[in-house]
């Protein structure tokens, strides 16, 4: 069997193991848990947590089992870095699975009623655990940048939707999103936790995006120094010899993306009522950072296509127009915040997928180039596969 077929086969085995494990654990919990933990939301939290445990465990096993970096053959730093990457990716998957499963359980309960649904909870949890076990194992074995980029909006929408549906303040949307998280209720904690996890995931995904840009640039620079024909990967304006300028650009890009992630974390950590100054610093500072990033994108990330620069400019104009309507009283601040948040998440997905496209083009160009050489040089096969490949 080939790699993809082995991944699918192993995914089916993971499906069975995760489904059986989740069914047993949730059934035991429902039967022996004290009454205080039989409250609907707590039951859903525990069930979602157990499903998340199964999914993340499946991902870690699938991702680490073929890794060639978890040893000391290339020094102590390589396994440390690889272990950190595994933990970081596990956080992204854990956040996505937990919030998505919790939201789906709430929707099913609204349709069936808690008295009927409670009897099905172990088996529904088993089905979810099997599905996420299968998906995470296959994705771990075939990991690339497009995969993790697609996970971000899923859990953000799930978390915010759950918070909006469970809040005890039906008029929160008349003010702004900060009011949704400005309480000590379950809905407020869900909203704030979603923002914190979103910020963490943005930082994690940004790390992998920057790593791919560095990998691509290093490949082109090495080939240029060796006086070999350099295949075009990314924008030709970024000449491989300008290593100092490139490092400066990448540092600025990474700093801006990290600051945006920190802004999400700060908004979720510091609620408005007890911390109005800190909350406003993060909330109002985020649009400014976004504008700097989107306007300066052609300079700090010249490898991207011109289309993403146009999309970035249109995003700024759209948010500015929505803000203008709000100042004139024709729109609500909640709508402006929702639009800005969705636009940024959409832009971030497009950005991540462009990085993944650069990754794929780099691997293809390098493969074609090496096939044209009679004797491949040392180190030229190092970056053939995805930066996130499980066997790295």
Report for 47-56, 183-192, 212-221, 319-328: range of highest mean pLDDT: 47-56
Residue 383 has pLDDT above 50, yes or no: no
CA angle 330, 336, 340 (to 5 degrees): 150
Distance between CA atoms of 95 and 159, rounded to whole angstroms? 9
Q: Look at residue 1 and give its three-state secondary structure.
A: coil
- At 267, is the pLDDT very low, low, confident or very high (cuts 50, 70, 90)? confident
Closest CA relative to residue 148, chosen from 221, 63, 226: 63
- Of the two residues 21 and 280, the one the predictor is more confident about is 21
pTM, entire model:
0.73
Rg of the Cα atoms in the chain: 23
pLDDT of 67: 67
The answer for residues whose C-beta is within 8 angstroms of residue 12's C-beta and 6 or more apart is: 134
Coil/strand/helix, residue 332: coil
The pLDDT value recorded for residue 26 is 92
Q: Contact at 8 Å (CB) between 342 and 184?
A: no
pLDDT value at residue 51: 95
**pLDDT, the chain, mean:** 78
What mean pLDDT is predicted for residues 98-106?
85
Q: Is the pLDDT of residue 220 over 60?
A: yes
Q: Given pLDDT bands bounded at 50, 70 and 90, which one contains residue 256?
A: very high
The label of the residue with tokens 């702004």 reads: 176
Q: What pLDDT does 259 receive?
A: 92
Give the integer Cα–Cα distance in Å for 390 and 179.
42
Rounded Cα–Cα distance for residues 278 and 161 (Å): 25
The mean pLDDT value for 37-53 works out to: 88
Q: What whole-number percentage of the chain has pLDDT above 70?
A: 76
pLDDT digits (tens, 9 = 90+) for 227-250: 555 555 444 444 444 666 777 888
Q: How confident is the model at residue 23 (pLDDT cuts 50, 70, 90)?
A: very high
Q: Among candidates 132, 123, 127, 73, which has minimal Cα distance to 99? A: 132
343 token code pair: 């636009």
Spatial CA neighbour of 177 closest among 341, 388, 347: 341
**Residue-by-residue DSSP string for 279-315:** HHHHHHHHHHHHHHHHHHHHHH-TTS-HHHHHHHHHH
In terms of average pLDDT, the best of 70-79, 222-231, 282-291, 352-361 is 282-291
More confident residue, 37 or 372: 37
| Alpha helix segments (H runs only) across the chain | 3-32, 40-64, 77-112, 114-117, 121-141, 145-166, 177-180, 186-225, 243-269, 276-300, 306-327, 333-371
Q: Mean per-residue pLDDT for 322-337?
A: 76
Looking at per-residue pLDDT, the higher value among 308 and 149 belongs to 308
Which position has the higher pLDDT, 381 or 329?
Answer: 329
Least confident of 50-64, 73-87, 191-205, 290-304: 73-87
* pLDDT in the model for residue 2: 66
Provide the pLDDT for residue 242.
Answer: 61
Dump the DSSP string for 223-264: HHHTT-PPP--S-TTS-TT-HHHHHHHHHHHHHHHHHHHHHH
Confidence of residue 69 (pLDDT cuts 50, 70, 90): low
């Amino acid at each position: 069997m080939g790699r993809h077929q082995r991944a699918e086969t192993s995914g089916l085995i993971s499906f069975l193991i995760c489904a059986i494990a989740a069914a047993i654990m949730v059934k035991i919990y429902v039967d022996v848990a004290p009454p205080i933990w039989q409250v609907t939301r707590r039951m859903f939290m525990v069930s979602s947590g157990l499903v998340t445990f199964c999914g993340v465990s499946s991902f870690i096993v699938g991702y680490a089992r073929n890794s060639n970096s978890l040893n000391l053959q290339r020094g102590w730093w390589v396994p440390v870095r690889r272990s950190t990457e595994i933990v970081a990716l596990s956080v992204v998957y854990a956040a996505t699975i937990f919030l998505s499963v919790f939201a789906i359980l709430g929707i099913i309960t609204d349709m069936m009623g808690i008295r009927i649904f409670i009897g099905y909870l172990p088996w529904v949890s088993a089905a979810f655990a099997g599905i996420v076990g299968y998906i995470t194992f296959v994705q771990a074995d075939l990991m690339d940048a497009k995969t993790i980029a697609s996970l971000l909006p899923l859990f953000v929408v799930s978390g915010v939707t759950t918070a909006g549906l469970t809040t005890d303040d039906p008029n929160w949307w008349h003010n702004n999103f900060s009011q949704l998280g400005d309480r000590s209720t379950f809905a407020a904690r869900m909203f704030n936790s979603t923002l914190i996890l979103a910020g963490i995931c943005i930082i994690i995904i940004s790390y992998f995006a920057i790593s791919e840009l560095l990998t691509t640039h290093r490949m082109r620079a090495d080939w240029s120094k060796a006086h070999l024909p350099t295949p075009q990967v990314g924008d030709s304006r970024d000449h491989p010899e300008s290593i100092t300028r490139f490092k400066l650009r990448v540092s600025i890009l990474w700093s801006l993306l990290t600051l945006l992630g920190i802004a999400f974390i700060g908004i979720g950590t510091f609620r408005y009522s007890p911390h109005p100054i800190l909350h406003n610093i993060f909330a109002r500072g985020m649009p400014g950072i976004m504008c700097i990033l989107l306007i300066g994108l052609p300079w700090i990330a010249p490898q991207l296509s011109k289309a993403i620069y146009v999309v970035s400019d249109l995003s700024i104009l759209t948010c500015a127009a929505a803000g203008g309507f709000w100042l004139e009283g024709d729109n609500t601040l909640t709508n402006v915040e929702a639009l800005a948040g969705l636009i940024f998440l959409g832009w971030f997905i497009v950005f991540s997928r462009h990085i993944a496209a650069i990754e794929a083009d780099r691997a293809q160009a390098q493969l074609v180039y090496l096939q044209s050489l009679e004797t491949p040089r040392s180190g030229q096969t190092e970056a053939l596969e995805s930066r996130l490949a499980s066997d790295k």
